[in-house]
Amino acid sequence: YLNDVFTVTVNMAGLPGMNVPTGLSSDGLPLGLQLIGKAWDEETLFRVGGVLEQAAGFTAMPQMVTKKAA
């Protein structure tokens, strides 16, 4: 829950926000870029997010980690 500090304030302010996948870390963990738009301007946010997503060329899927029951 510690990462909520990065998203809660945007939600409370009523601003649109999104996370665009940008690649994987050296450990194989997903990396993303958080975008925050102007109030009531989701259209611009989606356009910018789409352009950044295409420019990043992110296509990799991280490996899923599953725990086996003991």
Q: Is residue 49 assigned to a domain? A: yes
Six-digit token string for 9: 């304030």
Six-digit token string for 23: 């690649």
Question: Domain total for the chain?
Answer: 1
CA distance 50 to 34: 13
CA distance 36 to 47: 12
Q: Is residue 70 assigned to a domain? A: no
Identify the domain containing residue 35 by its residue range. 2-56
Q: Which residue has the higher pLDDT, 70 or 17?
A: 17
Six-digit token string for 34: 């958080």
pLDDT in tens, 12-67: 898 999 999 888 889 878 888 899 999 999 999 999 999 998 898 877 766 777 77
* Structure confidence at residue 47 (pLDDT): 97
Q: Is residue 66 assigned to a domain? A: no
Count CA within 13 A, CB hemisphere, residue 18.
Answer: 17
Is a pLDDT exceeding 60 seen at residue 1?
A: no
Q: Which residue has the higher pLDDT, 26 or 8?
A: 26
